[in-house]
Amino acid sequence: MNIDHYTYRVTWSPEDGEHVGLCAEFPSLSWLAEKPEAALSGIRRVVAKTVADMKKSGEHIPEPLADKHYSGEFRVRIPPVVHRTLALQAAEQGVSLNRLASAKLAA
């Protein structure tokens, strides 16, 4: 498993007064540091150690989001009144409901 493929993020934590490094595939892990670069290298080290420990114990290791295949399709349930409103908007704009919903999600 290549830890470089995981999704890392560094953000400011007002509660801690430091930058926090995060990994989307391991939401329970974080690393605090004064500088953003240190927060990133810290979370990368924690992820690498966690993955190594998981390998040793035979646990399932999360697949990096970047390596997953996405079909471009997913289902979403909405109230009938919202469905009707969106269908009406799509008809008025001369586009399919799928195109309208996709544009709204991307905005």
Q: Is the pLDDT of residue 101 over 80?
A: yes
CA angle 25, 26, 32 (to 5 degrees): 125
37 & 57 share domain: yes
82 & 62 share domain: no
What confidence score (pLDDT) does residue 14 get? 97
Task: Report the distance separating Cα 21 and Cα 32, nearest Å.
Answer: 6
25 & 60 share domain: yes
Q: Is the pLDDT of residue 1 over 90?
A: no
Range of the domain at 87: 71-106
pLDDT, tens only, 27-61: 999 999 999 999 999 999 999 999 999 999 999 99
Residue 99 CA neighbour count, 13 Å, CB half? 9
Number of domains in the chain: 2
